[in-house]
Amino acid sequence: MRRTGNEQPHKRWLEPLTIILAALIVAAALFISRADDESLRHEVVAVPGLLPAGVPFTPAVRAGGLIFLSGQVGIRPGSFELVDGGIEAEARQTMENIGQVLVAAGAGFDDIVKCTVFLRDIADWAAFNEVYGDYFPDGPPARSAFAASGLVLGAAAEVDCIAAEPDDD
């Protein structure tokens, strides 16, 4: 549209404003239509036998193409008893518990994209890594690790993870 400079001031901004408003309406319609999309809802992943019955704990939640795993510690499945043997044994049991949750969710260690590791003592980092690396032979996912006091049940390590939904191939 060719402008002569003689238009009224409100007409110069009316056309861009109309385009912006139309784009906002389209974006709002798309957002509202996705609000009913099942992929935006979450689904609890049950893991029978992981913890004693009646514990208010969700091992994992599936939402938006991702699986969010709750923190796991090195307890024997079905109990609140930490395994004996120090950081290495607890780390291995922690990773085995994560594996059990992944299987229940239809995934595996190769689907994990991010882990957060909480260590009672950061001096255990190297020992934890020795075990952790065994579960990711093709390269570990992104990770954060730090020391934290007061881990549940007095655990030496706790790990939570995010996994991508596996492809249905």
The answer as to whether 160 is a domain residue is yes
The answer to the question of residue 103 being in a domain is: yes
pTM over 0.85: no
Residue 144 within a domain: yes
CATH number at residue 108: 3.30.1330.40
Phi, psi for 104 (deg, rounded to 5)? -60, -30
In a domain, 83, yes or no: yes
Burial track 20-55 (b if 16+ CB lie within 10 A, e otherwise): eeeeeeeeeeeeeeeeeeeeeeeeebebeebbeeee
- One domain, residues 49 and 32: no
Is the same domain home to 58 and 140?
Answer: yes
Identify whether residues 31 and 49 lie together within a single domain: no
Average pLDDT over residues 28-44: 64
Same domain, 27 and 72: no
Residues 18 and 60 in one domain: no
What is the residue range of 32's domain? 9-36
Residue 136 phi/psi, 5-degree rounding, is -135, 65
pLDDT digit string, tens, across residues 106-153: 999 999 999 999 999 999 999 999 999 999 999 899 999 999 989 999
